[in-house]
Amino acid sequence: MTKNRVRPTGPIGSDGVINQEPKKRQELADYMSGLNLGDDRDRNRGFLIQCLHKAQELFGYLPESVQLFVADRLGLHLSEVYGVISFYSYFTTVPVGRYRINVCMGTACFVRGADRVLEEFKRHLGIDDGETSENGKFSLGGLRCVGACSLAPVVMVNDKVYGNVAPDKVPDIINDCQ
């Protein structure tokens, strides 16, 4: 469950993603101005996670320039924002594939062989846990319990849930991603 440790190159925020997508930038700005923000940074901090959710929904990931935009409007330090992003496995600072394949590694799934399922995905896709395929189609990861233990082991592809996944079902799941 190691997150990618890809450190951005160039000065802080120089990825420029926030300005390459003016519509999304505007939508994020509108969303944030609809919140009840004030001058009190301790209070604003309470809005951080929902802003990051919105930003990731819009941009697909949270590059530094987007983090800066959010930090700025909330009056928070960039480091605080990154601290939260790096804490939650849901948030990502690198682009993810169109199909986000997540193997549940919760206790129930794990004892029923989720690790072997994950290995099988790695072998078929040629990428490691936390990586994205070169064509940008797939990313692979493990996640904690999704609350469907009776179906263990469980795999999620974007919002779709597959239950009772044996390693030999992996090629079918990949073929489903069209």
Report the site for other proteins in 8-27 (rule: CB under 8 A). Answer: 8, 11-13
Q: Which of residues 26-85 bind other proteins (CB under 8 A)?
A: 64, 67-68, 71-72, 77-83
Min CB(84)–other proteins separation in Å: 8
Among positions 26, 86, 107, 164, the unique one binding other proteins when judged by CB under 8 A: 86
CB 73 within 8 A of CB 37: yes
Contacts of 133 (CB under 8 A, 6+ apart): 97, 125, 126, 127, 139
Which residues on neighbouring strands pair with residue 102, listed in sequence order? 141, 156
Cα 133 from Cα 28, distance rounded (Å):
28
- Supply the minimum distance, in Å, between the C-beta of residue 12 and other proteins: 6
Instruction: Specify the 3-state DSSP secondary structure of 2.
Output: coil
Alpha-carbon span 171 to 135, nearest angstrom = 18
Nearer to other proteins, 71 or 165 (CB): 71
Closest to other proteins by CB, 83 or 171: 83
Amino acid 11 reads P
Q: How many residues does the chain have?
A: 178
Asked if 92 interacts with other proteins (CB under 8 A), we say: no
CA distance 77 to 81: 7
Residue type, 12: I
Q: How far is the CB of 9 from other proteins (least distance, A)?
A: 10
Q: Which stretch binds other proteins (CB under 8 A): 7-15, 30-38, 45-53, 112-120?
A: 7-15
Taking CB under 8 A as the rule, does residue 145 contact other proteins? no
Nearer CB in complex with other proteins: 7/23:
7
The answer to whether residue 147 forms part of the interface with other proteins (CB under 8 A) is no
Alpha carbons within 13 angstroms on the beta-carbon side of residue 59 total 34
Tokens 């999304």 belong to 24
Binding site for other proteins (CB under 8 A): 2-3, 5, 7-8, 11-13, 64, 67-68, 71-72, 77-83, 86-87, 93
